[in-house]
Amino acid sequence: MIGVETLDDKRILIITPQDPLERADFEAISRAFERVISSTGKVAGLMIKMKSFPGWETFEAIWTHLKFVASHHRAIERIAVVTDSCFLRIIPGLAGYFVHPKICVFALGETEQALSWLERRN
C-alpha cells in the first residue's frame, strides 16, 4: 500500500510507502505524475515520506521502480526524502550522481521544512 497525494496548486506529489512496494504502487504514482505533467509540464517537487524503507514485494516491483525513475527523473525539479532511517539518509546522496533533480533529506519531524524547500523556485 502506498499513499499518493497531489498538491496541484504547488505541482508537488507526496508519496508515503507503508508496505513493501509493488508494481501497482508505481502505476499509481505514474498516474498522479502524468496528471501533473500534462497540466504544468514539470513536477516542482516530490516528497517521499517514510519512517523506514519497506523494500519491494517482488523483483518485478524493483524493475518497475527502476523504469519509473529512468523515465521520469528529468521532469522533477526537487526531491525531498523525509525519514529517520539512517539507510535512507545515505541513498539520496548516491542517487544524486545518477538523477536530475536536486535531492535533500529531512528528519521525519521536518515535513513542513521539506515542503517549504520543495516550493522554492531556485
Q: What is the model's pLDDT at position 19?
A: 92
Number of compact structural domains in the chain? 1
Determine the Cα–Cα distance for residues 13 and 29; give it in Å rounded to an integer: 9
Q: What is the model's pLDDT at position 87?
A: 62
Per-residue pLDDT of the chain (122 residues; tens, 9 = 90+): 799 998 878 889 999 999 999 999 999 999 999 888 887 788 889 999 998 888 899 999 999 998 988 888 888 889 899 998 766 666 656 555 556 678 888 999 999 999 999 998 65
Task: Give the neighbor-by-neighbor strand order of the sheet with 2-7.
Answer: 2-7, 12-17, 43-49, 76-82, 102-106
Q: What is the model's pLDDT at position 91?
A: 67
Q: What is the model's pLDDT at position 37?
A: 87
Q: The domain containing residue 46 runs over which residues?
A: 2-119
Which CATH number goes with the domain that contains 110? 3.30.750
| Model confidence pTM above 0.75 | yes
N-term to C-term CA, the chain? 33
